[in-house]
Structure 1
């Protein structure tokens, strides 16, 4: 059961930065990175905080399973670096999780991910970033998460002094698993805060 809960937490963490949302601020430099670069992003950013809430409901064969996962970072040693059109990530982080499945609270313990690294490309339009790749690439319990890579969008905001970068999201997705017919509805909200090096 502990591995299953850790996997739920990992899934929530990976989806923390993969959803589309409405723009927060029209003051961000516009255009795509194909010619008009958002210069304020270029450089390295230290992760200072992230939080994710993932609420999932699964209906299968007349039964319903619900889960509520809340994740909050406790230690961050993780860097996101942007060039004109590429990004890389590396480092480690620790988070606490609170998991409730069908109304029953599961015990929470800190979970540390080490030697996390990733890379990809990105473009911006206003304060919406389109990412091809993943901010988080690693192996978990022998499982490769490459299926979570690919094109994603997220909303971002850079502070007026250019020293704080905030990603945020709020999205609900409903999908039907093709082989079993299970209907899964997931609501993800949360974000991360980064400071410029």
Structure 2
């Protein structure tokens, strides 16, 4: 009986420590030290959340910059299904999907004969990438400027504002957040 009481006491104590106290301490520290990140890195626009800076959104209207394709299912950019497609370069499903994406880009901007950056036709490892390379933004710049009636310099300035360099100057690559860029385009058009 003494052993059983000790076991039950330890179970309740460890449940209290690891199931209640520790999560409350970690959550409190995150809210105190990193409130924006702890709450999902939300992007607010006109007083309400429109997305996260960490999860991509699908834009298909040619007047917007398009992000990386999503590999999540059953819907694109589904945070609950974050995964790569696991399709290899010789898989016909992957080559067909890439061909469809290339055709869509050519249909949206038939006069653009530049080489399409790979991040516009291939999904990232998570399938949720919210950013594109500066080359992918440059590829789309003329189309977006033309369809919105803006100068390329105006749009280039917005691309620069939505761009981030390497982390700590050496980690990763330069990138452009597509949602922030498209929101800035909409704001510019409202003025």
Please state which band the TM-score falls in when normalised by the shorter chain. Answer: under 0.3
More strand by share: 1
| TM-score, L = length of structure 1 | 0.27
> Whose radius of gyration is greater, 1 or 2?
2
